[in-house]
Structure 1
Amino acid sequence: MNSESVPGSRDTQAPLILLPGLGGDSRMFRPQRVAFPDLIVPEWIEPLPREPLVEYAARLAKEIDPGKPCYIGGVSFGGVVALELATHLNALECFLIGSIRSHQEMPRRLAMFRPVSSLVMVPKWLSPFVMGCFGRYLPPLRRGVLHQLNDAEGRFLRWAAQAILRWKPSKGVENLRVFQIHGDQDLIFPPQLTRADRVIAGAGHLVSMTHSAAVNGCLRERMTFRDALPGADSPQGFPELD
C-alpha cells in the first residue's frame, strides 16, 4: 500500500484515510496530522487513458484497502474520489471537506464544460508564473498550495480535471453515510448548492487548512461518536446522527 502514515496505530481503531484536492498532496493535511497522528494519505495511482472516475476509484480501492472498517474522506476532488472509494471499502463514514455529493452540486460555470471535458487543460505554467510575479506577496498558506500544484504530475492533473467534469455518482454512493463540511465563502463549490452538514463561517475552499481546528473537531466528533456505538465495526445499523 502506497501511503504516508505514522507507525503505531492501534489495530482496534478504525483508520482515517484522507485524499487531497486536485494538485495537492499529503502536505495539504499537515493540520489534520497534528490532530490525527495515524492519518493515512494515499498516493494517487496512474490513471488509464480516459478512465472514468468510478473505475479509477475501484482500482485505487484495491491499493489502499486496510482490510477492516475505516473512515475515508477527502478535500474537493479528493472528496469525490473518496465517495467512490467508500463503495468498495468497509467505510463507516465518508467525510467531504469542501467537496460535493454529486455532479448536481457542481456550479453551472463548471458544469458547462462537461460537453467539452476532453479539451479541459490544467496549465502547469500557472503556478510558477504566479509564484514568480506575486509569490512574495502571498501568505504562507497560499504559497504552499502553489508549491503543491507545481510539484503535481501534469498528466494526472489533466485526467483529474476531465474526470470530475464527466463524473456521475455510482449507485452505491446513495447508500453511504456521508458528512459534508463546507466553508460559507467557498467560491469553487458554493455552499448554497450543497447539502452541507456543517458550514464553517468565514471559510473558503481551503477550509481544511484555514480553519483546521473546526474541521478537526468535526472529524473527531463523528469518529468518536461512531466508535462508541454498538456494532461500530460495521457501517450498517447506525442510527442517524445530527
Structure 2
Amino acid sequence: MQIPFFLFPGLACTQRLFSPQREGLSDICRVIVPDWVEPLPKEDLRTFARRWGESVFVKYFSQNDNHPKAFNPSDGCFVGGLSFGGMCAPYIGEFLEEHGIKVLACFNLATIQGGSQIPTISRLLWQSINMLPFGGWKFLQLLCFVSLKLRGKHYSMPRRETYLQLLESPARRCHRVLQMISHWRDIPQNYTFPQIHIHGKHDVLLPLSKLEQTDIFILNAGHLLTLTRIDEVNDILRTEIVKFIS
C-alpha cells in the first residue's frame, strides 16, 4: 500500500486545487485531500487544525469494522497544504505524531510559518472585512459571479479557478476561516518532522519577504502554485518525497 500524502486546501477548500498532484504523484504516493471540518465559533487556528487532524486519524488510521483498509501507522505519512491549509498542516502533523503516526515530512505551499509573519496591514484589512455580515463574502461572491459571466472566457485558468473556489465556498466558512487567520499570532515553531516550503516570489496575499527563508524553494509564481506551476511543484514534491521513501 502506498504511503498517504494528506494535502489540505486553502480558504475555499476545494479538492480541485490538488488535482495535478493527485495525478502527477500517483506512482510514488497516494495523495488524499481530507474532508473539510467545520470551524466552531471563535475557535483558534491551532485547535481547529488539531480537530482536522483528529478526523484524518479516525478515518484513515483507525482499524475497525468501518475502516478495514486503514493505513498502517508504522508506514508513516506526509502532510502538507496550501495557504490556510499550509498553516494548519504542521499542527495536524503534530497531532498525528502524538497519536503514533510517523510524519515523514510537512510540505508548506504558498503559506506562512507562523501568525507573527502576517503583515500588519493584511491583518487589519482582514479584520475590517470580517466586521461585515459573513465577512462581506456574499457581496464578493456576487462580484465573482458577474465577472465570470461577463469576462470569464478571457481569464487565465488560475484566475477562473480562484473565482470558482470563492463561489463554491459557503460564506459562513470563509468568515470563520478568515477570523482564525487574522487572530493567529503564533511564532514559527520547530517540529519533530522536517518542513519543506514552496513559495512564489510574486505572492501578494502572503508575501515572501515575511518568511524565514531556509529550506524554501522559490518559484516565479503567485499564490496558486499548484495550478500555475504544476510541473515545477510536482518535481519538487517528487524529489523530496523520494528522499524519505527510497
TM (norm. structure 2) is 0.80
> Does 2:185 correspond to 1:168?
yes
Contact 1:114–1:166, Cα closer than 8 Å, also in 2? no
Contact 2:117–2:211, Cα closer than 8 Å, also in 1? yes
For residues 200 and 145 of structure 2, what CA distance do their matches in structure 1 show? Answer: 27
AA of the residue aligned to 2:173: F
Contact 2:7–2:32, Cα closer than 8 Å, also in 1? yes
- The unaligned stretches of length 5 or more in structure 1 are 1-9, 229-242
RMSD: 2.2
Aligned pair in 2 of structure 1 residues 181, 73: CA closer, same or farther (>3 Å)? same
> Does 2:55 correspond to 1:55?
no
Contact 2:200–2:208, Cα closer than 8 Å, also in 1? yes
More helix by share: 2
Aligned pair in 2 of structure 1 residues 114, 14: CA closer, same or farther (>3 Å)? same
Aligned to 2:111: 99
Contact 2:9–2:83, Cα closer than 8 Å, also in 1? yes
- The unaligned stretches of length 5 or more in structure 2 are 62-72, 98-102
For residues 125 and 46 of structure 2, what CA distance do their matches in structure 1 show? Answer: 19
Contact 1:117–1:166, Cα closer than 8 Å, also in 2? no
Aligned to 1:70: 77
SS in 2 for 1:174: coil
> Does 2:56 correspond to 1:44?
no
Contact 1:200–1:214, Cα closer than 8 Å, also in 2? no
Q: What is the Cα deviation at residue 133 of structure 1?
A: 3.6
AA of the residue aligned to 1:103: G
Count of paired positions: 216
AA of the residue aligned to 2:50: A
1:105-144 equivalences under 5 Å are 105-113=117-125, 119=131, 121-124=135-138, 125-144=142-161
> Does 2:15 correspond to 1:26?
yes
Aligned pair in 2 of structure 1 residues 227, 169: CA closer, same or farther (>3 Å)? farther
Contact 2:115–2:185, Cα closer than 8 Å, also in 1? yes
Aligned pair in 2 of structure 1 residues 42, 164: CA closer, same or farther (>3 Å)? same
Aligned pair in 2 of structure 1 residues 118, 136: CA closer, same or farther (>3 Å)? closer
